Structure 1
Amino acid sequence: MSPAQPVIAMQGIVKRYYIGKPNELEILHGIDLRVEPGEFVAIVGESGSGKSTMMNILGALDRPTEGHYKLNGVDIQMAGDKELANIRNQQIGFVFQTFNLIGRMSALKNVELPMLYAGLPARKRSERAAELLDLVGMGERKKHQPNELSGGQKQRVAIARAMANDPSLILADEPTGALDTATSRIVMDLFHKLHEEQHKTIVLITHNPELAEETQRVITLRDGQIVNVRKGAGVHGRT
Structure 2
Amino acid sequence: MSKTVIEMHDIVKTYYIGTPNELEVLHGISLEIHEGEFVSIVGASGSGKSTLMNIIGALDHQTAGEYTLDGVPMTEMNSRKLSQIRNRKIGFVFQTFNLIPRSTAQGNVELPMLYAGIPKRERSKRAKELLAMVEMSERAKHMPNELSGGQKQRVAIARAMANDPAIILADEPTGALDSNTGRLVMDIFHELHKKQGKTIILITHNNELAEETERIITIHDGRIVQERDKRTGKQEVQHESV
| TM over 0.5, shorter chain | yes
Residues 218 and 4 of structure 1: CA distance in aligned 2, closer, same or farther (over 3 Å): closer
- What is the aligned residue count? 231
What displacement does 1:204 show?
Answer: 0.2
What letter matches 2:12 in structure 1? Answer: V
Q: Is the 8 A contact 1:17 1:24 kept in 2?
A: yes
Give the counterpart letter for 2:113 in structure 1: M
Structure 2 distance, partners of 1:11, 1:169, is: 20
Summarize the alignment of residues 1-239 of structure 1 with structure 2, pairs less than 5 Å apart.
4-232=2-230
Q: Is the 8 A contact 1:132 1:163 kept in 2?
A: yes
The alpha carbon displacement at 1:202 in A equals: 0.3
The CA deviation string for residues 196-230 of structure 1, in whole angstroms up to 9 with x for no partner, is 01110000000110011000001000010000011
Q: Which runs of 4+ in 1 moved over 3 A?
A: none
Unaligned runs of 5+ in 1: 234-239
Aligned to 2:28, the other structure's residue is in SS state strand
Q: Secondary structure at 2:36's aligned position in 1?
A: coil
- Could you tell me how far apart the structure 2 residues matched to 1:18 and 1:69 are? 21
Moved more, 20-29 or 221-230: 20-29
> Residue in 2 aligned with 1:236?
none
Cα-to-partner distance string for 1:104-154 (whole Å, 9 max, x where unaligned): 111111000000000000000000001111111111211111111110010
Deviation at 1:4, TM superposition (A): 4.4
SS of the residue corresponding to residue 113 of structure 1 reads helix
Q: Distance in 1 between matches of 2:179 and 2:61?
A: 35
- SS of residue in 2 equivalent to 1:49: coil
State the Cα distance separating 1:35 from its structure 2 match. Answer: 0.5
Deviation by residue 1:29-63 (Cα, 9 ceiling, x = unmatched): 11111000000000000111101110110110001
TM-score (norm 1): 0.94
C-alpha contact 1:7 1:168 (8 A) present in aligned 2: no
CA distance in 2, matches of 1:74, 1:115: 24
Report percent identity of matched pairs. 67
AA at the equivalent of 2:66: H
RMSD after superposition: 1.1
Asked whether the equivalents of residues 212 and 232 of structure 1 are also in contact (C-alpha less than 8 Å), the reply is no
Over 3 Å counting, the alpha-carbon distance change for 1:216 and 1:4 in structure 2 is closer
- Give the deviation of 1:71 after TM superposition: 1.1
Q: Which amino acid aligns with 1:165?
A: N
Give, as a single letter, the amino acid of the residue that structure 2 aligns with 1:209: N
SS at match of 1:219: strand
Query: SS where residue 53 of structure 2 aligns?
Result: helix
In structure 2, give the amino acid aligned to 1:143: K
Cα-to-partner distance string for 1:168-215 (whole Å, 9 max, x where unaligned) = 110000000000000000000010000001110000000110011000
Unaligned 5+ residue runs, structure 2?
A: 232-242
Task: Please state how far the C-alpha of 1:5 moved relative to its aligned partner.
Answer: 3.3
Q: Is the 8 A contact 1:214 1:232 kept in 2?
A: no
TM-score when normalising by structure 2: 0.93
1:23 aligned partner, one-letter code: N
* Cα shift at 1:22: 2.0
